[in-house]
């Protein structure tokens, strides 16, 4: 039986091995991903994002338990900071979710950012597709927590949950820019801390300033204490409501198109880069170009346009 067939039947070892090969950038893995893609689209993808220290991992841990209590299977892609020594993930998320590690209905994968910006890793979307193809009902993607520019998750998730906590400096400043726009649900975690009510009030006031056209989802704010399992049922209900809203409003296709478009453009960029690097390294053209740039005889922009132009012709 081919590995893809084993993955489609839910084989855990085959799934883990393909994920490893995808992260290593093996060509065989790319060929298998072509087959995998045709079996995706069944899972609901939930993105959990927010600043470091907001309690994302604890929230995910409790959310997974609540989903399992409903009988749903869950895949988790936890993006951890890259180790400066090994280049691998620190694996903090997997440690926090250890109680789910022996549950056959849960698959957990910690991945390293490896320098990729935007809160996700380069291989995160491929891993989501693999877990989707195994038949998981829900896939949770927890981003690394990089701050205001952590908005890449919106191109991956169907429902984006932004996690905040009081007492982390300028709370409102921490949620400005892109983060405020990408959230479908905002969770003020660690709500037992001083300042939680103030943060909730300010957050709701900021969201109320936005004018949402008729028929659009209006973001909601809830409070939680994930470490005490408080607010999790409310969060789950809001996630389901958001999912139902898109199903009933006919906007799910638009959401799916956004994700597929992003996946295609990502594949185009990776393919072009790999092809360009292979051509440059095969005939030592790279060093010739670098030498011309050092002497300022040529500029990097014109050289890049010339190389890409040759490839496209």
User: Is pLDDT at 204 greater than 80 in this prediction?
Assistant: yes
Residue 45 pairs in a beta bridge with 139
Q: What is the pLDDT of residues 30-67, one digit of tens each?
A: 999 999 999 999 999 999 988 888 899 999 999 999 99
Report d(CA 161, CA 169) in Å as an integer. Answer: 21
Shortest CA distance to 22 belongs to which of 144, 126, 116, 134?
126
User: Is pLDDT at 3 greater than 70 in this prediction?
Assistant: yes
Supply the mean pLDDT for the chain: 84
Higher pLDDT, 11 or 92: 11
Domain 41-249 bears CATH identifier 3.20.20.140 = no
Residues of the chain with pLDDT > 90: what percent?
47
Q: Which residues are within 8 A (CB) of 139 and not within 5 positions of it... i.e. 6 or more apart? A: 43, 44, 45, 46, 74, 75, 76, 77, 128, 131, 132
Burial (0-12, 13-18, 19+ Cβ within 10 Å), 152: buried
Question: Which whole number is the average pLDDT over 180-200?
Answer: 90
What is the pLDDT at residue 108?
93
pLDDT band for 119, please (50, 70, 90 cuts): very low
Report d(CA 303, CA 39) in Å as an integer. Answer: 40
Higher pLDDT, 89 or 308: 308
Higher pLDDT, 74 or 101: 74
CA 226 remoteness from chain centre: 21
Report d(CA 38, CA 164) in Å as an integer. Answer: 36
Rounded to the nearest 10 degrees, what angle do helices 285-294 and 300-312 cross at? 150
The answer to whether 88 and 58 have CB atoms below 8 angstroms apart is no
Question: Which whole number is the average pLDDT over 227-252?
Answer: 92
Q: How many CB atoms lie within 10 A of CB 206?
A: 15
User: Is pLDDT at 251 greater than 90 in this prediction?
Assistant: no
Question: Which whole number is the average pLDDT over 263-269?
Answer: 87
pTM of the model: 0.86
What is the pLDDT at residue 32?
95
Domains of the chain, residue spans:
1-39, 41-249, 262-312
What DSSP line would sit under 22-56, residue for residue? HHTT-HHHHHHHHHHHTT---SEEEEEEE-TTS-H
Residue 161 pairs in a beta bridge with 48, 185
- Per the structure block, which two tokens stand in for 287? 């060093």
Q: How many CB atoms lie within 10 A of CB 283?
A: 8
Shortest CA distance to 157 belongs to which of 71, 64, 263, 12?
263
């Amino acid at each position: 039986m081919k590995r893809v067939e084993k993955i489609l039947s839910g084989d855990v070892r085959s799934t883990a091995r393909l994920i490893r090969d995808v992260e290593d950038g093996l060509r065989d893995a790319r060929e298998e991903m072509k087959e995998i893609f045709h079996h995706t689209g069944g899972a609901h993808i939930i993105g959990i994002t927010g600043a470091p220290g907001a309690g994302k991992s604890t929230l995910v841990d409790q959310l997974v338990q609540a989903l399992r209590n409903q009988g749903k299977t869950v895949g988790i892609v936890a993006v951890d900071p890259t180790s400066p020594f090994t280049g691998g993930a620190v694996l903090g998320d997997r440690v926090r979710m250890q109680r789910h590690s022996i549950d056959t209905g849960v698959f957990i994968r910690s991945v390293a950012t490896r320098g990729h910006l935007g809160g996700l890793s380069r291989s995160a979307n491929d891993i989501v597709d693999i877990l989707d193809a195994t038949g998981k009902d829900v896939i949770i993607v927890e981003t690394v927590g990089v701050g205001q520019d952590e908005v890449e998750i919106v191109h991956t998730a169907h429902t984006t949950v932004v996690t905040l906590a009081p007492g982390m400096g300028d709370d409102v400043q921490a949620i400005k820019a892109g983060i405020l726009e990408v959230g479908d649900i905002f969770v003020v975690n660690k709500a037992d801390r001083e300042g939680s009510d103030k943060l909730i009030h300010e957050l709701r006031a900021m969201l109320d300033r936005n004018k949402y056209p008729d028929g659009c989802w209006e973001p909601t704010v809830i409070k939680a204490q994930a470490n005490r399992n408080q607010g999790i049922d409310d969060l789950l209900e809001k996630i389901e409501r958001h999912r139902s809203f898109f199903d009933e409003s006919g906007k799910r296709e638009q959401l799916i198109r956004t994700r597929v478009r992003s996946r295609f453009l990502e594949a185009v960029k990776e393919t072009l880069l790999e092809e360009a690097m292979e051509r440059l390294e095969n005939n030592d053209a790279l060093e010739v170009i670098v030498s011309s740039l050092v002497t300022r005889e040529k500029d990097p922009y014109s050289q890049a346009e010339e190389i890409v132009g040759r490839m496209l012709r």
